[in-house]
Amino acid sequence: MPGPETIPPGDEHADGGVIGTPPRVAVPPRRSGFRVGPMVFVPEFRRIEGADPWAHRKGEPRPFALLWAVYLSAAALLTIFAVSRITVPSTGQFVYACRAMLVMVNLGAVVLWPMTRLSQQFPARPARSLLTDLAIVVVPAQAVVWPMPLLAHWDWGVTAAQSASSAAWASLVGAVLMLATRHPSHSGRSLAMLACLGVALAAPALLVVPVMLNRPASADLLLWFSPLTTPYVISAAPSGHGPVMATAEWLLVLAPLPAALGLWLLGGTMGALPPHAPPHAPPLAPHSYPHPRPHPRPHLDPPGDEAVDRAGTGR
């Protein structure tokens, strides 16, 4: 009966293998996913034990600032910068483009901003977070509004009115969000979003009533109470004349500010309810990947012992 195989000292690898066989290399587990260039997207990265499944819904200001800057850039490309590609540039064409740009700015402030924040976790300090968001929305918008007189040949008072109008409507929406943080529930979020949509669409929807009653003066007044129609009525002027702001028109432009201030104070004095924290999903067990099968180790006799069998006797 052949005896056990003996390996001379010094002929072993550190992992116990024999010289002449490749050392065992730890093969990382293969993850399912799809590759896009040098990146591989896998579905397991959110299932790592200890990871926060709500990290993408914390409502941090930096991603929101980046998305807002991208939105303003896309709006400018589709409105102002598209004039030279669609038609012959003229003052009248730039007036329409600037109006459309202002509508896009107000639409993002009164619809996209609350839609984003109401779908995220409410912050622990709502007043501080919402004031930061308000600055993120208003300040970049000013960089878009103030160069418009160079294109549309507006008076600087008209440009200031456009700027104040956008800031006033954004402040009103911020106040609505402030109240929503005091009622952290699904119904509270839904009502706040409906209120923001009402700020944008209520006045245009009510335009049907003065038209049916044959009262055009009332219809013109309703145009001042929507962020989607205010840019048009501020820059409106008779043919051959430039728009000029009167005192009564300034009062209509600043009309959302008293309501916004009152709602901000109401939200600040209300009893703070505990912020709604979505339940964390229980940590899932890590995937059990099959271990790679080790390479078979072929039997190799020590050098010079080819004529010696396993029992130590000659052949």
> Mean pLDDT across the stretch 48-68?
68
What pLDDT is recorded for position 301? 52
- Tell me the two tokens of residue 111: 């619809």
| 39 SS3 class | strand
Confidence of residue 276 (pLDDT cuts 50, 70, 90): very low
Strand 39-41 versus strand 34-36 pairing type: antiparallel
Mean confidence (pLDDT) of the chain? 77
Lowest mean pLDDT among 145-154, 221-230, 251-260, 262-271: 262-271
The residues with which 34 forms a beta bridge, in sequence order, are 41
Q: Read out DSSP for 207-254?
A: THHHHHTT-HHHHHHHGGG-TTTHHHHHS---TTS-----HHHHHHHT
pLDDT at 124 over 90: no
What pLDDT is recorded for position 190? 92
Contacts of 110 (CB under 8 A, 6+ apart): 169, 170, 172, 173, 196, 199, 200, 227
Higher-pLDDT residue of 210 and 6 is 210
What pLDDT is recorded for position 33? 57
Confidence of residue 288 (pLDDT cuts 50, 70, 90): very low
What pLDDT is recorded for position 213? 76
> Mean pLDDT across the stretch 95-117?
94
Please return the burial class of 290, using the count of CB atoms within 10 Å of its CB with bins 0-12, 13-18 and 19+: exposed
Write b or e for each residue in 233-266: b if 16 or more Cβ atoms lie within 10 A of its Cβ, otherwise e: bbbeeeeeeebebeeebeebbebbeeebeebbee
CB 187 within 8 A of CB 276: no
Confidence of residue 20 (pLDDT cuts 50, 70, 90): low
> What ranges do the domains of the chain cover?
58-269
pLDDT at 116 over 80: yes
Higher-pLDDT residue of 288 and 212 is 212
Confidence of residue 289 (pLDDT cuts 50, 70, 90): very low
CB 246 within 8 A of CB 157: no
pLDDT at 243 over 90: no
What pLDDT is recorded for position 45? 44
What pLDDT is recorded for position 314? 46
Q: What is the 3-state secondary structure (H, E, C) of 111-152?
A: HHHHHHHHCCCCCCCHHHHHHHHHHHHHHHHHHHHCCCHHHH
